[in-house]
Structure 1
Amino acid sequence: MIEIERKFLVRSEAFKSSAVKKERIVQGFLNTDPLRTVRVRIKGDKGYITVKGKGNRNGTTRFEWEKEISVKEADALIKLSEPGAIDKLRYYVEAGKHMFEVDEFFGDNSGLIIAEIELGHEDEDFLKPQWLGEEVTAITKYYNSQLSKNPFKNWKG
């Protein structure tokens, strides 16, 4: 129930040719309080509800609880969500013994591409592909819950 994750910007679309799978994700947030985020998601042909706690100081570790629900339930809950649903295409890209999840955003977050990697511990080494850019793990504006409130299109250079 503890998630250890790091986030990075992506320099190029070179990751697409290495993807082993991709799927569409639509998600809404029932609560975007940084202490407890509640997300509802339709990922492919499955629905999920997820509760995330506040991250540690460097943003790498936080509580996460997720439960599968029906797509019908997820769709109904997304309609009740706060404004700013997230629409993205997720690519799964193997790099060494790890899997990067690379999200290409659409709608108000179009143009943003973020790669995430889940780790077994905070200091775990991992292969960094050429397309991997600046680390943004601790920068909260890159959290999906924050992108729903302040989308990429609103950011100033």
Structure 2
Amino acid sequence: MAREIERKFLLEGDGWRPHAHSARRLEQFYLFAGDDRSCRVRITDGASAKLTIKMGRGLSRGEFEYDIPLDDAEILRQSALGRIVEKTRHLVPNGRHTIEIDVYEGALAGLVVAEIELADEDESFERPEFLGAEITGDARYLNQTLALRDHGGPAETL
């Protein structure tokens, strides 16, 4: 099983924007979700799709990810639980790592979250000034929670 090790942060300001070198529009939704597992579909730029199964909690989780036909993803969207999470993902180089910055749209507009994937839980990385409070492990900021939370209000109500 592949492992995903990532740390998440809120952002302070827009100091990251001049460093962003690409952006992709993402739509994702969940087919099933539990306390320590989920199955999601992600459509990228309306052109490709992946099915991802995640297991576990916290900093390091099991992850299986597979390309699926876009037509299948669009059919599966009809079975989505909760809301479809819409966001634009910006990539910001940071030393030997890349920081992924998600700018949420729609019902979650106003929320901006940064993620950095690591090879090891104890791996160090350069921490730029625009990274604010660490939210790794805070269930309120899991995409699963954002999709399934029972309200339609803006992100600032988190």
Same fold judged by TM-score > 0.5? Answer: yes
Structure 2: gaps (5+ residues): none
Q: Distance in 1 between the 2:54 and 2:96 partners? A: 26
* Aligned position for 2:6: 5
* Aligned position for 1:36: 37
Secondary structure of 1:122's counterpart equals coil
* Aligned position for 2:79: 80
Q: Which amino acid aligns with 1:94?
A: P
Tell me by how many angstroms 1:14 deviates. 2.0
Tell me by how many angstroms 1:34 deviates. 2.0
Instruction: Map residues 1-150 of structure 1 onto 2, 5 A cutoff.
Output: 1-44=2-45, 45-55=47-57, 59-150=58-149
Secondary structure of 2:81's counterpart equals coil
Q: Distance in 2 between the 1:77 and 1:15 partners? A: 34
Per-residue Cα deviation, 1:54-86 (whole angstroms, up to 9, x for no partner):
21xxx1100000001111111111221112110
Q: Which amino acid aligns with 1:21?
A: S
Q: Distance in 2 between the 1:33 and 1:66 partners? A: 18
Secondary structure of 2:7's counterpart equals strand
Q: Distance in 2 between the 1:62 and 1:83 partners? A: 23
Superposition TM-score, scaled by structure 2 size: 0.92
Tell me by how many angstroms 1:154 deviates. 6.5
Q: Distance in 2 between the 1:120 and 1:41 partners? A: 23
Superposition TM-score, scaled by structure 1 size: 0.92
Q: Percent identity?
A: 34
Tell me by how many angstroms 1:156 deviates. 4.0
Tell me by how many angstroms 1:32 deviates. 1.9
Q: Determine if contact 2:5/2:59 at 8 Å carries over to the other structure.
A: yes
CA RMSD of superposed structures (Å): 1.5
Structure 1: gaps (5+ residues): none
Q: Distance in 2 between the 1:155 and 1:101 partners? A: 21
